[in-house]
Structure 1
Amino acid sequence: MRAEPFLDNWAYLKVELNWLERLLLTAVARQRKDTKTIERISQTKADRVTSHWWKGVVNFEEVIASDSPADRRKSAPTASYQQQLDARIQASWQKGIGLALPILCDRLELNPFEKNAILIALAPEVHRRYAQMYGYLQTGEDTPERPTIDLVLRLLCRTDAEWRIARSSFLSSSRLIQSGLMTVEEPDQLFLMRSLKLSEACVNYLLSDAADFMELEELLEPQVSDVFARSVPRTPIDLVLPDPVLEQLQQICNQIQFTPQLKAWGFRQLPGVNALFIGAPGTGKTLSVQWIAQQLEMPLTEIDLAIVDHPAALIEDLIAEPPMVLLIKSAERWLKRSAPIEKVIELINSRRTFTCFSVRHRIAVPIALRSRFQFTIELPKPDAMARVQLWKQAFPAETPLSEFDWQTLAKQHRLTGGEIQAIAKAAAIQALSQEASEITLDHILQVLR
């Protein structure tokens, strides 16, 4: 029987996500059953902690022990399913229908495990329920989380040999991580506890209506073997921040723009302007620096220390060739007490136009270093009025929208600007997948569940 091609990239993704959902629901059901057994049998906290050992040895209610081959779960598609899927992918290519994930796997020569790891990391970008299932499988709590290396290995590996081989896919030297499309977050955590995240460009490519090889080449070229992300912000940026924060950002721009005049008037000027931005993810730290670069009409260089193996080695390079506008994300890795403080101070004082260190919490910065920053700006989570504006900005002008009660939506869901942007995009994908002519409140609520 001749294989039927997929209608488009989204039709293909729905098939892959349906398989993933079945896999996750099976894992959730098994974990709930195991949890009930452990709670019923264990008598002390020590019993619960060591349950991974004794539940595989002690046989309850004539159930086969969990280390028996008869109880090994199916963690990957069956051969017939995979063969049918491959046949449909080939039929789609013959019809000129671009499927993003297969094209990516073909270009980077990724194996089935790596392909499914990308799919697992992509799923929360499509619907939050995947993140909630990941949270339950990882912590036992119904809280959204990104998948960890441990979870991916548990879901996809059936034997110890498979586990050992698959683990190497997440090392910094692997082709998947080297490509820059996937990053391993939380470098200070144990390796298995680190979470996996796809780059925004990779997510956009995988969710595109129609993908092609040229688009992928453009995506890969600037990212391979390069920890610096350089850009010139062009689209006008409309910040939604409290007035005092906006005034501080404008002061930074003014100090840089009027440096020659201040020197001419006899005022002593430091070589450049530096700042410490403090705030939770999604509160606008990166966007604020992009706004400053846009006002100054200068290129912006971003470095995320969370994805750099040896961040201390970068300091010398940055001191030798300082970018005009530099944003250092996850700066805790340089500002903590064990870091080479003298070099960090030299970097802060080195000649450049503007340097911004971005951290989540003030406590991450040693007191001795706080006075080194000319500006310290704390970006709060948006209040209800700001969230109304953020919701309205999240949808482009050409997006078809039904009537919304923005005030109620903003009051009921205390989200950051970054979260609102992500939910708006996911709601658009949800509407398109249901062949809706416009985005409705139901689509947003489906993503929020």
Structure 2
Amino acid sequence: MSADPPFANNWAYLKTELSWLERRLMLALTKQQQTSRKVNRVARKPGDRASSHWWQGLITVTNCAYDEAPAKKKLSGSSPSYQQRLKSRIKATESHGVCLALPQVQTRLKLSKFEKNLILLALAPEVNLRYGRLYHVLQTGQDSPTAALPTLDLALRLFCRNDLDRQRARSQLMSARSLLARQILQDVSTAPTPLLGRPLQLAPAWISYLLAEQPKSSQLAQILPPTATAQPQPARLAQPVSWSELVVTPSLKLRLQSLTQQVASELAVAQSAAPTHGRRLLLLVGPAGTGKTTAASAIAAALALPLPVLDFSCAGSDLPLPTKPLVLIKSAQHWFGRRSLDPVLQAQLWQWLSEPAAGLVVLSVHYRHQVTASWRQRCDLIIELSEPTASQRLQLWQQSLTAGHWSAEIDLPALADKLRLTGAQIQQIAQTAQRLADSAKMVELANLQQALQQHGYAAAFLAR
């Protein structure tokens, strides 16, 4: 089968994307009409229709209409999907020197698939008002000659397959680097409205760029918001901790200590001989507060090295590669994930980690899949940290509330057993309790009860 041809220009690409969007809209409209017919057969009053989302799962509607039969599943084949073919055509078009506005914006701003589709959704009514009329029907259930702007709720229904997708999409729109924060999309609601119901409109400068027949990179550079090229946060030094303060399973601690010994030996050899291989790479995986930074700090203390902590969740396209022998990179998915960097900067990363040098780079992420398989294969060690067990929580409480500085009335074993907290949460509560207590006195039961309440936890089981 021959490859799909490249797009002739930006408008040819937009026509393809808008045709795909129209199919999604018509499918959503068909499902909405089917649901309305089912509801109307059962509903007896307006309240029945308002609560239909609840009782539809309890009442079986019989005598389905001719177009309400379940769709037959298509047999899986080997032909590429629409998204795969589109990506191939975009790549072929760009190889011919033709600039496509929306793909370029997605690459330049590192947008997710949902964010790209949200821009397309907001752009469509600027091309043809029939999209706005479809939005009106899907958002109100009523036909109208007036075109409507899309809402976030409509975008979530069109582009998200499940609750996890919806949660991720909402978090993207609430971040400091969202399309709203960058003022690419504008909230044009005139009255207080829930976020899901707010109409969204593209800023005029972005409409002009995205609809240009031959957009230019220089035009994009002129309208990019300042936050698009924000620099990473300055490096800070983590406080060193001993191995005894790292509360993990003995096997994990032993693996970390073994890697630390290897790095220490290589650093010692590098003082008298040139290194023969690149920096070692350690990947720490786990939810927030499970000890990733503490593990890196324990390694730093064992190596007697400072630990610069870099958080690249707000990194721009400029890549200041660290030069220290030990560094912790938080939010590492922004460097080492699927949507991290363009090929040129990826090559710089490979070169940086491959050039002969002794040292250790520690990557920190919440989920293993956030780092691409190629980078995971490059790692010397991958450690997955989980939330602490009851015995580990007791140890963390005892460390945070130093012996002799907390009242014997406090039932720490019960506290550790009842409240499933992370190490970071325990430390925060303990610091609050110590702040509430007189610095010259021990932490009393009342201090810890008040600290727990301030952090939103019950404290009825604290006393022995």
Instruction: Please report the TM-score for the alignment, with normalisation by the length of structure 1.
Output: 0.46
For normalisation by structure 2, the TM-score amounts to: 0.44
